[in-house]
């Protein structure tokens, strides 16, 4: 088969290899505690289910406008008013098929072949592939545990090259849970703007910050591009719905790209998402945040006790990124071993970059507390028997 050379530049999502191994073991009847994926295991809120039924009954099953239905774009703008005190024109909001589609649109909008994009290492693995897909070059900036894995303006300045055009980062970050405060975001935005670059901040884990305030980059840099999604805080991974906030000047091109590449986001999912932004549902989601905080606190303390290195408690997100020095010297082999022997699935650091990737693993705390307790007990036994 003939295939484009570009495809060979993409890297596979290693967590998918873990998923396959998990499924093999489960098909043999093994109980596996699954701490490898990033989807909160909560039931869909009743109001969202009801809105979906209503959308079906009312036959809201046709294409919508490419950037999404007006009431949803307005409701997202209201969400920023309520959460961040920001007044956003709904015309600057594009509803997308998951934030993944928003990242794809931005790759197409911002990157010429040969352009460089600075990304954090470790970071969300698909970002580099969105950059490569557009013919760009990922340029990695290592972020280190000693600095709470936070990307600094000084690091961006140090890694910016002649061909660099953009900086993409997430706050809270995957896999590290690092959160950037208003000062840090402001300094980053100023640095990128000084270099005439474009700042893209992925805020998909907003709503899942457990310590300290939640700052959107839009509070300090009105011209930044912001990614968000109904997948994480709203727990709607399978609905495939996200959004993008962009400068007004970009909206025409984004509309053309979205129209051509996927015509419109799912109509039914958009009606469901409208219900997800209802204050009653948001109150339910806030209660879940407290539950996630308890899980995080439990897991961090328990893993530290087992010998994992977690220098700082992750301030947000759904993950604990832990060092395994002293326990093992290869994260991939360690994940395989613990899956086989302990029946606990988690992800090797090599999925997220190369910097100390063989010395780190990622646990997600999306499972309920009793399952986390079981995971820790199993790991304790498996480690003691080595
Ligand atoms: C940082 C980050 N951005 C984007 C995504 C993509 O999410 P979705 O396409 O479901 O919105 C993920 C998924 O795990 C993520 O962790």
Tokens of 162: 């002649």
Name the domain count of the chain. Answer: 2
- Provide the pLDDT confidence category of residue 196 given band limits of 50, 70 and 90: very high
Q: Does ligand 1 have an atom closer than 6 angstroms to the CB of 102? A: no
In this structure, are 181 and 268 located in the same domain? yes
**Whether residues 13 and 157 fall in one domain:** no
For residue 63, the tally of other CB atoms under 10 A from its CB is: 12
Residues 219 and 341 in one domain: no
Which pLDDT score is estimated for 19?
A: 84
**Cα 160 to chain centroid, rounded:** 24
Pocket of ligand 1, candidates 102, 107, 122, 204: which has the most ligand atoms within 8 Å of its Cβ, to mutate? Answer: 204
Q: Given the DSSP bridges, would you call strands 164-170 and 198-202 parallel, antiparallel or unpaired? A: parallel
Q: What is the CATH number for 322? A: 3.90.1150.10
* 319 and 273 in a common domain: no
The reply to whether ligand 1 has any atom less than 6 angstroms from the CB of 317 is no
Higher pLDDT, 49 or 7: 49
* Å from CA of 204 to ligand 1 middle: 7
CB of 228 shorter than 6 A to ligand 1: no
Return the bridge partners of 214, or none: none
Type and span of the H or E element at 131: helix 126-133
Distance CA 173, CA 122 (A): 9
- Ligand 1 geometric centre to CA of 382 (Å): 32
Radius of gyration of the chain from Cα atoms? 21
**Residue 64 belongs to what domain range?**
46-280
Q: CA 338, CA 126: separation in Å to the nearest integer?
A: 25
DSSP state for residue 61 in the 8-state scheme: -
Whether 99 lines ligand 1, by a CB cut-off of 6 Å, is yes
Give the 3-state secondary structure of residue 364.
strand
Residues 146 and 168 in one domain: yes
Give the pLDDT of residue 61. Answer: 95
Q: Are residues 167 and 300 in the same domain?
A: no
Q: Please state, in angstroms and rounded to a whole number, the distance separating the CA atoms of residues 300 and 320.
A: 7
Residue 37 contacts residue 156 (beta carbons within 8 Å): no
| Token digits of residue 9 | 């530049």
The finding on whether 170 has its CB within 6 A of some atom of ligand 1 is yes
The three-class DSSP label of residue 348 is strand
> What stretch of H or E contains 161?
none
Contact 36, 19 (CB under 8 A): yes
- Extract the tokens encoding 265: 């986001």
Is 12's pLDDT higher than 80?
A: no
Residue 100 CA, closest ligand 1 atom number: 9
C-alpha 242 to ligand 1 mean position (Å): 9
Q: What separation in angstroms does the CA of 335 have from each of 28, 224, 316?
A: 19, 37, 23
Domain edge (last residue) among 280, 314, 332: 280
258, 148: one domain: yes
Instruction: Output the CA 99–ligand 1 centroid distance in Å.
Output: 6
Name the nearest CA neighbour of 245 among 211, 269, 216. Answer: 216
C-alpha of residue 103 to centroid of ligand 1, in Å: 9
Measured between alpha carbons, how far is 270 from 283 in angstroms, rounded to an integer? 20
| Nearest alpha-carbon partner for 295 in 243, 346, 371 | 371
- The whole-angstrom distance between residue 2's C-alpha and the CA centroid of its chain comes to 33
Asked if the model's pLDDT at residue 156 lies above 80, the reply is yes
pLDDT at res. 8: 85
Average per-residue pLDDT for the chain: 96
The answer to whether 278 touches 267, Cβ cutoff 8 Å, is: no
CA 317 – CA 230 distance, rounded (Å) = 14
CA of residue 38 to ligand 1 center, whole Å? 8
CA of 118 from ligand 1 middle (Å) equals 18
Confidence at residue 119, expressed as pLDDT on a 0 to 100 scale: 98
Answer yes or no: is the C-beta of 319 below 6 A from any ligand 1 atom.
Answer: no
203 with 251, same domain: the answer is yes
252 and 290 share a domain? no
Ligand 1 neighbourhood includes 40 CB (under 6 angstroms): no
The pLDDT, as a whole number, for residue 131 is: 97
Does one domain contain both 288 and 376?
yes
Question: Where is the domain boundary, 252, 280, 308?
Answer: 280
User: How far apart, in whole angstroms, are the C-alpha atoms of residue 97 and residue 82?
Assistant: 24
Per cent of the chain over pLDDT 90 is: 92
Between 258 and 6, the more confident residue is: 258
288, pLDDT greater than 90: yes
Q: How many CA atoms lie within 13 A of 260 on its CB side?
A: 8
Chosen domain end from 280, 300, 331: 280
Question: Does residue 13 carry a pLDDT above 80?
Answer: no
Q: Is the CB of 36 under 6 A from ligand 1?
A: no
CA of 169 to the centre of ligand 1 (A): 12
- DSSP reduced 3-state for 255: helix
Give the domain CATH number at 257: 3.40.640.10
77 touches ligand 1 (CB under 6 Å): no
What is the per-residue pLDDT for 16?
A: 75
CA 240 to chain centroid, in Å, comes to: 13
Task: Name the nearest CA neighbour of 332 among 36, 99, 61.
Answer: 36
Query: Among candidates 105, 134, 109, which has minimal Cα distance to 6?
Result: 134
Pair (366, 232) in one structural domain: no
Residue 17 has pLDDT above 80, yes or no: no
Q: Verify that 236 and 294 share a domain, yes or no.
A: no
Q: Please give the average per-residue pLDDT across 298-311, as a whole number.
A: 97
Q: Could you tell me if the CB of 244 is within 6 A of ligand 1?
A: no
Residue 7: what pLDDT?
Answer: 87
Question: Is pLDDT at 39 greater than 90 in this prediction?
Answer: no
The token pair that represents 113 in the structure block: 């072949």
Predicted confidence (pLDDT) per residue in 66-118, tens digit:
999 999 999 999 999 999 999 999 999 999 999 999 999 999 999 999 999 99
Ligand 1 centroid to 100 CA: how many Å? 6
Report the pLDDT value the prediction gives residue 11, as an integer from 0 to 100. 82
Closest C-alpha residue for ligand 1 atom 14: 38
Instruction: Select from 94, 100, 266 the residue to mutate for testing ligand 1; criterion: most ligand atoms less than 8 Å from CB.
Output: 100
């Amino acid at each position: 088969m003939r295939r484009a050379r570009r495809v060979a530049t993409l890297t596979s999502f290693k967590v998918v290899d873990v998923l396959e191994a998990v499924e093999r073991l489960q098909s043999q009847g093994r109980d596996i505690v699954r701490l490898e994926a990033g989807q909160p295991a909560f039931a869909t809120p009743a109001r969202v289910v009801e809105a979906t039924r209503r959308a079906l009954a009312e036959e809201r099953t046709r294409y919508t406008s490419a950037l999404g239905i007006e009431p949803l774009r307005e409701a997202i703008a209201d969400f920023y008013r309520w959460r961040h005190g920001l007044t956003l024109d709904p015309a600057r909001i594009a509803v997308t098929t998951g934030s993944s589609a928003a990242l794809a649109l931005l790759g197409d909008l911002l990157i010429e072949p040969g352009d460089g994009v600075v990304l954090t290492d470790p970071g969300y693995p698909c970002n580099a592939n969105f950059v490569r897909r557009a013919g760009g070059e990922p340029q990695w900036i290592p972020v280190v545990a000693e600095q709470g894995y936070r990307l600094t303006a000084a690091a961006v300045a140090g890694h910016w090259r002649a061909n660099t055009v953009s900086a993409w980062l997430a706050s809270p970050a995957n896999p590290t849970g690092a959160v950037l405060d208003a000062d840090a975001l402001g300094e980053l935005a100023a640095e990128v703007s000084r270099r005439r670059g474009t700042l893209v901040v992925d805020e998909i884990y907003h709503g899942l910050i457990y310590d300290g305030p939640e700052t959107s980059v839009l509070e300090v840099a009105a011209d930044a591009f912001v990614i968000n999604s109904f997948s994480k805080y709203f727990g709607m991974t399978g609905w495939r719905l996200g959004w993008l906030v962009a400068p007004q000047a970009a909206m025409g091109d984004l509309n053309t790209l979205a129209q051509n590449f996927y015509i419109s986001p799912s109509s039914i999912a958009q009606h469901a998402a409208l219900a997800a932004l209802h204050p009653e549902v948001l109150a339910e989601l806030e209660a879940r945040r407290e539950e996630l905080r308890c899980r995080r606190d439990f897991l961090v303390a328990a893993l530290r006790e087992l010998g994992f290195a977690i220098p700082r408690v992750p301030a947000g997100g759904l993950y604990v990124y832990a060092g395994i020095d002293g326990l093992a010297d290869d994260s991939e082999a360690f994940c395989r071993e613990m899956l086989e022997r302990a029946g606990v699935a988690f992800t090797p650091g090599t999925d997220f970059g190369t910097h100390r990737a063989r010395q780190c693993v990622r646990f997600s705390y999306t499972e309920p507390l009793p399952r986390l307790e079981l995971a820790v007990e199993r790991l304790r036994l498996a480690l003691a028997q080595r």
